[in-house]
Structures are given as structure tokens and as C-alpha cells.
Amino acid sequence: MNIALCDDCRENIMLYTDLLSSICEKHRIELKIDPYLSGKQLLFELGDPQRQPDLIYLDIDMPGLDGIETAGRLRESGVESEIIFLTASTAVNVILRAFDVDAFHYVVKEETPRERFEQIFLRVQEKCEKKKRETLIFSCAGESRKVFVKDIHYFEVQGHCINVYYKDTSFAFYSTFRKIENMLSNQ
């Protein structure tokens, strides 16, 4: 599982890295964590569609760009990663704003027990695995597109090029229909 952990406090990054490592070891889940110290840094790194993690743990109260604004910009740029907010705030208005950006959950630092944190993580991990099974990635000329199978309308072959039509757009790439059939049969 690929996780981006964004918090302006290095100690919190170390704390949650250790906690997630322990949970993943216990449940035999492969884990990769990329730490970020600001929303700005996270936005810069996730500009590449290939770098989108499965899950983003995002602190809300950060200087400059706060976590909710960061999450909003991520969503606007097409990032579909699951988001769990990490914060010390229990204010209702903050919690409600967090869900405006389609957050999976909201964890209160130093108040959420380890068992509850683990339950939330295992639920989101299961959701991320399901998403992976329902997604195809197409690449051509250095550009990649992650497409949900449910959004695909049809494929069209033009010579050696295949166009996938999904939602209200399309993407052209080089492949064979045999490879497409194999990708779809593995779903």
C-alpha cells in the first residue's frame, strides 16, 4: 500500500510511520510511505499521475496551505487517492469542511485509540484494494491515465493505436486487443 503522510511536524510523521508500519507488519500488508512536510510539497509531488498514492494522511492545521485547502486542490487536479485527515481539532465546523473534499475519515491526534486507528486503516486499505482491481492504467508518450472500468464506454482500434472512450473524454495508446482482453479478464 502506497501512503503519503503530510504533517508539518516531523515527530508526528515518525509517530504515524511507526504506527502504520506496525499495523501493516501485523496484517502482512506491503507498505511504502512518502513523508511530506507541507501541503505545497505534497501538491508538487502528486502532480504526476503515476505518483498518486493509495492513501493520503493529511494534517489539517499546517502553516501556509492548510490540509483542507490542500485536499481541495488535490481533488481539483484529479487525485482520487483516499484521504484521512489527522488533526488535533474536534471543532464541528472543521470536521464538516473535511468531508467537503470527499475524505474517507477524520482521526483526532492523541485521542483516537490505536485499535480504532487500526480499524479505520484496515477499512480504507480494503477499499483501496478494491479500487485497484477496478482500475486500468493506460500509458503513451510519457502520459498515463488511470481509468475506472465502470467509466469505460468502448475501445476503438485505428491501426496500431487504441482509443479508450470513458466518461466524456478519450485517450489514445499503443497496444493490442489481446492485451486489453487480458487486462479486463484480470479484473
Whole-structure pTM value? 0.76
Q: What is the dihedral of CA 162, 77, 146, 44, to 10 degrees?
A: 110
The CA distance from 159 to 167, in Å, is 23
Question: 145-184: per-residue pLDDT in tens?
Answer: 888 888 899 999 888 899 999 988 999 998 888 888 887 8
pLDDT in tens, the chain (187 residues): 999 999 999 999 999 999 999 999 999 999 999 999 999 999 998 876 667 899 999 999 999 999 999 999 999 888 889 999 998 877 788 778 888 899 999 999 989 999 999 999 999 999 988 877 777 888 888 787 888 888 899 999 888 899 999 988 999 998 888 888 887 876 5
Q: How far is CA 123 from the centre of its chain?
A: 14
| Closest among 104, 168, 167, 166 to 130, alpha carbons compared | 104
B/e letters for 78-99, b = 16+ CB within 10 Å, e = fewer, are ebebbbbbbbeeeeeebbebbe
Q: How far apart are the first and last CA of the chain?
A: 18
- β-bridge mates for residue 144, sequence order: 139
Which grid coordinates are listed for 118? Answer: 487500526
Cα 124 to Cα 10, 73, 120: the distances in Å are: 24, 21, 6
